[in-house]
Amino acid sequence: MDAVGFDKHDHSACIDDMIAVAEAYCVANKLQFTPTRRRVLEFLLEDHRALGAYDILERLVEEGHGSQPPVAYRALDFLVKHGFVHKIERLNAYIACAHPHEKHSPAFMICRLCGSVAEASTPAKKLLDQAAKDVGFNIECTIVEAEGLCPKCTTEGASV
Amino acid sequence: MDAVGFDKHDHSACIDDMIAVAEAYCVANKLQFTPTRRRVLEFLLEDHRALGAYDILERLVEEGHGSQPPVAYRALDFLVKHGFVHKIERLNAYIACAHPHEKHSPAFMICRLCGSVAEASTPAKKLLDQAAKDVGFNIECTIVEAEGLCPKCTTEGASV
DNA sequence: AGTTGAATGTAATAGTATTACATATCAGTA
DNA sequence: TACTGATATGTAATACTATTACATTCAACT
Ligand SMILES: [Zn+2]
Ligand SMILES: [Zn+2]
Ligand SMILES: [Zn+2]
Ligand SMILES: [Zn+2]
């Protein structure tokens, strides 16, 4: 398993790659990768951390887009629906997917101090599937999030 | 693994038992199981489904308690902190724990049609711990929720 | 040009949660 | 008993998150 979020990496390439993937996917599936949608994905890729819908709205406003919540929520809904972005339920925030369209059940590790978030792929889905089968429940999607301390905050705050 | 939520069971005994467990725990740990806290736990046990903080507040008001949000949130914070209640992040709602103080990492199955919620115990923590260790993350708590269709809604809505 | 469906702009409102400060209650102690 | 500190409650105000509704714009197709 791998993770993006706690390690340094070639970030400009990272953004370009992800945008390219999204664009190609939209073209292939006749989806409209509009300026607003593209910009929101860029914001999330730039920060590489979870942003609230209103953080995003704020930035959109600065660039001249509409100033009402639906402007942000619509773009986010699109990006989530098509797998470019995940919602972090624990934070009511959104983060760019680290493995777009590799068909996965994401798991997130959320640092409660610095707020960084790493996405991992785990067999958690498999695990729940068995538990679900036992009671006859039909899983459609899973949410797996862990809260704790990231490597950096663990060492820094040995006193915490 | 077992689940409460999709099966019928002796409910009055269920409530009494849970309240007794909570009371005993509070006495043993010098915690104050105040009337408000007890009542909130009873509401959650009675319904055996997830209730929003404002649903709970509404009921408290009917019984003469304070009418401001902190009245509900404080009781919920206490109950969550001491393991009598879990928060369902996906629903922004709260549900009574089905296994109080059996030290567990709960997993929830949430029916998107009827809203029923079942709590299961899974080894998700173990699983995530390995993934976390790989990247140096220190897990403090886990959130595992699955959304889908419960047995009843699966059969009823074969057309959905 | 006319029709359609998707996307956007905007206002209003709904739903969830916290901060701040005053008051009350209770346990332990002088 | 009176004082003290910690805990719990009452209340007002505010902050944060999200949806509904309706008008408008735009591109694609006929
Ligand atoms: Zn992903
Ligand atoms: Zn950190
Ligand atoms: Zn539980
Ligand atoms: Zn159901």
Using H for helix, E for strand and C for coil, what is the string for chain B? CCCECCCCCCHHHHHHHHHHHHHHHHHHCCCCCCHHHHHHHHHHHHHCCCECHHHHHHHHHHCCCCCCHHHHHHHHHHHHHCCCEEEECCCCEEEECCCCCCCCCEEEEEECCCCCEEEEECCHHHHHHHHHHHHCCEEEEEEEEEEEECHHHHHHCCCC
Q: Name the closest nucleotide to B78, judged by C1' and CA.
A: D8
Scanning the structure block, which residue is given the tokens 């999709």?
Answer: B6
Q: What is the C-alpha separation between B127 and B143, in angstroms, rounded?
A: 13
| Most distant CA atoms of chain A, gap in Å | 53
Contact criterion met (CB < 8 Å) for B144 and A142: yes
Q: Stretch B102-109: mean pLDDT, rounded?
A: 88
A128 touches chain B (CB under 8 A): yes
Q: For the segment A125-160, what is each residue's pLDDT rounded down to a tens digit?
A: 777 888 899 899 999 999 999 999 999 999 886 544
Of B132, B142, B146, the CB nearest to A142: B146
Contact criterion met (CB < 8 Å) for A122 and B136: no
Is pLDDT of B11 > 70? Answer: yes
Q: What is the C-alpha separation between B101 and B97, in angstroms, rounded?
A: 9
What residues sit around ligand 1, an ion, with C-beta below 5 angstroms? A 97, 99, 106
CA of A90 to C1' of C1 (A): 52
Which residue ranges make up each domain of chain A? Answer: 11-96, 106-155
Torsion on CA atoms A19, A25, A28, A33, rounded to nearest 10: -60
Q: Left (φ > 0), alpha (ψ -120 to 50) or beta: where does A138 sit?
A: beta
Domain B106-155 indexed as CATH 3.30.1490.190: yes
The pLDDT of residue A100 is: 80
Is pLDDT of A92 > 70? Answer: yes
Query: pLDDT > 70: what percent of chain A?
Result: 92
Q: For the segment B32-71, what is each residue's pLDDT rounded down to a tens digit?
A: 999 999 999 999 999 878 999 999 999 999 999 989 999 9
Q: What is the C-alpha separation between A142 and A156, in angstroms, rounded?
A: 33
Q: Rounded to 5 degrees, what are φ and ψ at B8?
A: -80, 150
Interface A:B, Cβ pairs < 8 A: 141
CA of A90 to the centre of ligand 2 (A): 16
Q: Give the CATH number of domain A11-96.
A: 1.10.10.10
